[in-house]
Amino acid sequence: MHSVFISDLHLCPTRPDINKTFFDFLQGPAAQAEALYILGDLFEYWAGDDDDDPFNASVVTALHAYADRGPGLYLLHGNRDFLIGERFVTAGGAKLLADPTLIDLYGTPTLLMHGDTLCTDDVEYQKFRAYSRNPAAQQVFLARPLAARKQEIAHLRERSAASKQTKSEEIMDVAPATVEAVLRQYGYPRLIHGHTHRPARHEHMVDGHRCERWVLADWYRRGSYLRCDAAGCQSIDLN
């Protein structure tokens, strides 16, 4: 038995090659797994579950078909698609997990996160995150017409891209002290997350405990997934 983990696919209609890689992945490596965990940013952005764009519908259909074949399908919100709601989750046959979520992964306690909450040195982003996750703010935003929401998201993405030009690489990466605090809080588990687009395996010594941290790759250039079983985890490229 094994499970697979992916994040930061940033699917959108303008990236047909990666979209095809994802659809093929669902019918290939993911179909052989006991469960698929999508740890945030499945989409480039998500304006609301009422966005019935044909591409969005094709992703929902593919996820539903995958879940119908039997594997578990689990989803975390990312910083780009945190507005995914119950309508999408139900239609796709997935289960929405809290961030973070601690699971027993074949005998190893494993903490699942998107990863953005670990980047605490980026104070500007953390302030925006706190505001955008506020249920009242989300309700106001989702009450606006879909076209207006998409326009606002495009504006926010432009501002974010400009802001990144002035930030150091260290600020946009995880804060080591925050990682250690989270590992300590959850009993020194293995940690799997995405968000930073810096795929790697790290080891942290926390209070005498050796903790493994896997950072998942983004899918901007190629597809990639983490395969975990009782013997451990392995990062695998798709193309």
Separation CA 124–CA 128 (nearest Å): 7
User: What's residue 163's pLDDT?
Assistant: 74
Boundaries of domain holding 202: 3-237
User: What's residue 131's pLDDT?
Assistant: 95
Could you give the count of Cα atoms lying within 13 Å of 42 in the half-sphere of its Cβ? 27
Crossing angle between the packed helical segments 135-142 and 123-132, to the nearest 10 degrees:
70
As averages over each run of 10 residues, the pLDDT of the chain (239 residues) reads 98 95 97 97 97 96 97 97 97 98 98 98 94 96 97 90 74 92 98 97 97 97 96 94
User: What's residue 104's pLDDT?
Assistant: 98
Domains in the chain, number = 1
In contact, 214 and 192? CB cutoff 8 Å: yes
Separation CA 40–CA 80 (nearest Å): 8
User: What's residue 108's pLDDT?
Assistant: 98
User: What's residue 171's pLDDT?
Assistant: 72
Length of the chain: 239
Could you give the count of Cα atoms lying within 13 Å of 60 in the half-sphere of its Cβ? 19
Read off the CATH number of the domain in which 135 is found.
Answer: 3.60.21.10
CA distances from 231 to 43, 101, 108, 163 (A): 31, 21, 10, 42
User: What's residue 165's pLDDT?
Assistant: 74
User: What's residue 159's pLDDT?
Assistant: 85
